[in-house]
Amino acid sequence: MRGAVLYAPGDVRLEQRPAPEIINPTDAIVKIAVSCVCGSDLWDYRGINPVTEPTPAGHEYCGVVVETGREVATVKPGQFVIGSFFASDGTCPNCQAGFQTSCVHREFVGGCQAEAVRVPLADGTLVATPEPPADELLPSLLALSDVMGTGWWAAVAAEVKPGMTVAVVGDGAVGLCAVLAAREFGAARIIAMSRHESRSKIALAFGATDIVTERGDEGVARIREMTGGIGVDAVLECVGTGESMRQALRSARPGGNVGFVGVPHGVEINGQELFFSHVGLRGGPAPVRRFLPDLIGRVWDGRIDPGQVFDLVLPLDEVAVAYRAMDERRAVKALLRP
Amino acid sequence: MRGAVLYAPGDVRLEQRPAPEIINPTDAIVKIAVSCVCGSDLWDYRGINPVTEPTPAGHEYCGVVVETGREVATVKPGQFVIGSFFASDGTCPNCQAGFQTSCVHREFVGGCQAEAVRVPLADGTLVATPEPPADELLPSLLALSDVMGTGWWAAVAAEVKPGMTVAVVGDGAVGLCAVLAAREFGAARIIAMSRHESRSKIALAFGATDIVTERGDEGVARIREMTGGIGVDAVLECVGTGESMRQALRSARPGGNVGFVGVPHGVEINGQELFFSHVGLRGGPAPVRRFLPDLIGRVWDGRIDPGQVFDLVLPLDEVAVAYRAMDERRAVKALLRP
């Protein structure tokens, strides 16, 4: 089958790879309906994370189950499924607590920019749609496997509640989905930090009430000005740099919360500053599996359409073009059709 | 009047100071019934915080109101009161949100190791007892003005709930009060990290179910061993060093919380480690004022007796002896009687 492989920074290639096979009795093989490129793929593509060997790329997926191991009980061949980028057993204490991405048996689901993928721990990882979805639902369902689940988690981690004022740092696909999540959680005011017109437009469509173009200290000053000097109730940090984290922490009011979902790179948090800020902080890889049943329902009912974050659609054969477009920020997020 | 003044590291003196007077119409003058030395006073006494000029010492107090400014409405001369170490107006958005120690008009109440003190913003800061207290209640009421309020805040910040397993890092007065708070919050298992027999005894009296003497990585390993490899639901960090914070963060389960109330000194938190831990973190100077009415009630009813943390009682004249005993860890906490 065809699949994308990252060889070195800037060097992603589509090539023939062995078709995935059942290895463990808890595995499922999923024929990919659509896949995509993630902002976090760019950490590798840009060489910020070291690439030590050719690595099958992509971790977002949805599609049809074609085969299951003998112990798989909750999904079966023919069903359309969505799963998380971390496979989870669904039964360990961390899964039971709703933190499936900290499952004691977790496995990364890599190599999804391909025609098919092996998903370990299928029962604890995959969720089936009520029936095979219409083609126009595919982008939104795909978004649930990472970016929408991650934006949702940002809102959960920051404890967004009805009536709150929320700021979203980052206008990538996750940041935009975080805006949508804040709207669904009933936030009264949603301030999107964005200086890209095309992204601001999606943010507004997703429920942002204000756009702030300033960044860093100026962004913090603007947020404080908008909130009577106090800060916002919740900040959804969707970038993962030292600057974005500082901006997030300084934008929240005492007693407010920062949910941080951008994988931190070079981020050190000063304990004394955090202490005197009275701000609560929680982040981590989104426990997407926890949210999938709810989010599939919202997409199915037409209540949310996170698929709008895909502003570039390419055949899988052009995966290298997709990476380049995202790397150069010409696209928010590229969808790939095998 | 007599009052303690810190001149330099290791040099605290009792001397004659001007008696406090009403400066603003929102002030009250409180005649100190009992005061004490705080673990955080030792940061100055040890020269870890620089001492740039002679500074009236002490920030924990309770006593009788002797005079009030013309705008003070909720307390009056003759009442016995307890207040927080930060004066707060009680009306700003941060006070209204319950974070009085982030009051936009907050003022530090210093110079309490003395015969009397001026408390600014009396209406938002002081809480009166139902009637003048019996002498044997004084230590416990005094503890509410900082250490018990701070231990309570650790449990609130770490979101301790009935049935939880809780670890307490630090066996100073605040750590011991945090054990007591965890018990009051209904924790099923309370693991006190302590290697001092006299302190362990108080921890057990306050409700600790387990004592762990290991520290650092060994302490973390012990906690994990006791919790099936997963970690505890909540950690109350009551020290404020880099090591204690690392120990706290690594002892909590994914989805668990660390409440950190030891003023951090030289603490940097690695963003990526915090991210992958899935641990929530909130700290800060305890909003003692929020908890005072409830805590006064519990002391009044005999339900809690945090005054047990005072294992040394001295006349105010011997304040230097009190500092030395705490500095040398010969005393958990020293109470001073003017």
Kindly identify which residue of chain B lies nearest to residue A276, measuring between CA atoms. Answer: B284
Contact list in A for residue B267 (CB cut-off 8 A) is 270-272
| Claim to verify: residue B51 and residue B154 sit in the same structural domain | no
Test B104 with A229 for CB contact under 8 angstroms.
Answer: yes
DSSP characters for A48-115?
A: SS---S-EE----EEEEEEEE-TT--S--TT-EEEE-SEE--S-SHHHHTT-GGG-TT-EE----SBS
Contact list in B for residue A274 (CB cut-off 8 A) is 264, 269, 281, 283
Cα–Cα distance measured from residue A87 to residue A168, given in angstroms and rounded to the nearest whole number: 28
Q: Which of B283, B302, B320 is the last residue of a domain?
A: B283
Contact list in B for residue A272 (CB cut-off 8 A) is 263-265, 267
* Closest CB from A269, A271, A276 relative to B271: A269
Test A94 with B283 for CB contact under 8 angstroms.
Answer: no
- For the segment A156-175, the average pLDDT, to the nearest whole number, is 97
Test B278 with A274 for CB contact under 8 angstroms.
Answer: no
What is the structure's pLDDT at B297? 98
Confidence of residue A132 (pLDDT cuts 50, 70, 90): very high
| Claim to verify: residue B93 and residue B187 sit in the same structural domain | no
Q: Is B161 on the interface with A (CB under 8 A)?
A: no
| Claim to verify: residue A258 and residue A313 sit in the same structural domain | no
The residues in B 208-267 lying below 8 A from A, measured between CB atoms, are 228-230, 240, 242, 245, 253-255, 260, 263-267
Size of interface A-B (CB pairs under 8 A): 125
| Claim to verify: residue A237 and residue A136 sit in the same structural domain | no
| Claim to verify: residue A140 and residue A19 sit in the same structural domain | yes
Question: Of A193-207, B38-52, B233-247, which range is least confident?
Answer: B38-52
Cα–Cα distance measured from residue A255 to residue A274, given in angstroms and rounded to the nearest whole number: 11
Q: Is A280 on the interface with B (CB under 8 A)?
A: yes
Q: Which of B263, B283, B303 is the last residue of a domain?
A: B283
Cβ atoms of B249 and B273 within 8 Å: the answer is yes
| Claim to verify: residue A271 and residue A179 sit in the same structural domain | yes
Cα–Cα distance measured from residue A120 to residue B128, given in angstroms and rounded to the nearest whole number: 62
What is the structure's pLDDT at B49? 87
Q: Is A93 on the interface with B (CB under 8 A)?
A: yes
Residues near B297 by beta carbon (within 8 Å), at least 6 away in sequence: none
pTM of the model: 0.96
- For the segment B126-145, the average pLDDT, to the nearest whole number, is 98
- For the segment A178-207, the average pLDDT, to the nearest whole number, is 97
pLDDT tens digits, one per residue of A48-105: 888 889 999 999 999 999 999 999 999 999 999 999 999 999 999 999 999 999 999 9
Sign of CA dihedral A309, A314, A317, A319: negative
Q: Which of A258, A283, A308 is the last residue of a domain?
A: A283
* ipTM for the complex shown: 0.96
What is the structure's pLDDT at A49? 87
Q: Please determine, for residue A288, whether its predicted confidence score (pLDDT) is greater than 90.
A: yes
Cα–Cα distance measured from residue B251 to residue A199, given in angstroms and rounded to the nearest whole number: 40
Closest chain A C-alpha to B97 CA, distance in angstroms: 7
Cα–Cα distance measured from residue B310 to residue B335, given in angstroms and rounded to the nearest whole number: 6
* Closest CB from A253, A254, A264 relative to B271: A264
Instruction: Identify from A281, A288, A290 which residue to disrupt to test chain B contact, counting B C-beta atoms within 10 A and taking the largest count.
Output: A281
Q: Is B274 on the interface with A (CB under 8 A)?
A: yes
Q: Please determine, for residue A161, whether its predicted confidence score (pLDDT) is greater than 90.
A: yes
- Rounded to the nearest 10 degrees, the angle between the axes of helix B216-226 and helix B242-251 is 20
- For the segment A207-228, the average pLDDT, to the nearest whole number, is 97
- For the segment B282-299, the average pLDDT, to the nearest whole number, is 98
| Claim to verify: residue A31 and residue A153 sit in the same structural domain | no
Report chain B's mean pLDDT, rounded to a whole number.
97
The enclosing H or E element of A321 equals helix A319-327
Q: Is A52 on the interface with B (CB under 8 A)?
A: no
Supply the CATH number for residue B263's domain: 3.40.50.720
Contact list in B for residue A161 (CB cut-off 8 A) is none
- For the segment B307-336, the average pLDDT, to the nearest whole number, is 96
pLDDT tens digits, one per residue of B61-117: 999 999 999 999 999 999 999 999 999 999 999 999 999 999 999 999 999 999 999
| Claim to verify: residue B233 and residue B299 sit in the same structural domain | no
For chain A, what percent of residues have pLDDT higher than 90?
A: 97
Domain encompassing residue A134: 2-146+287-337
Q: Please determine, for residue B149, whether its predicted confidence score (pLDDT) is greater than 90.
A: yes
C-alpha A15, offset from chain centre: 26
- For the segment B296-320, the average pLDDT, to the nearest whole number, is 97
Sign of CA dihedral B220, B222, B227, B233: negative
Supply the CATH number for residue B76's domain: 3.90.180.10
| Claim to verify: residue A212 and residue A302 sit in the same structural domain | no
Test B94 with A254 for CB contact under 8 angstroms.
Answer: yes
Cα–Cα distance measured from residue A333 to residue A20, given in angstroms and rounded to the nearest whole number: 26
Judged on CB neighbours under 10 Å (0-12, 13-18, 19+), B242 is middle
| Claim to verify: residue A135 and residue A249 sit in the same structural domain | no
* Closest CB from B102, B230, B281 relative to A254: B102
Closest chain B C-alpha to A249 CA, distance in angstroms: 12
Tally of domains within chain B:
2
| Claim to verify: residue A107 and residue A6 sit in the same structural domain | yes
The residues in B 98-157 lying below 8 A from A, measured between CB atoms, are 98-99, 101-102, 104, 157
| Claim to verify: residue B266 and residue B301 sit in the same structural domain | no
Cα–Cα distance measured from residue B110 to residue B119, given in angstroms and rounded to the nearest whole number: 9
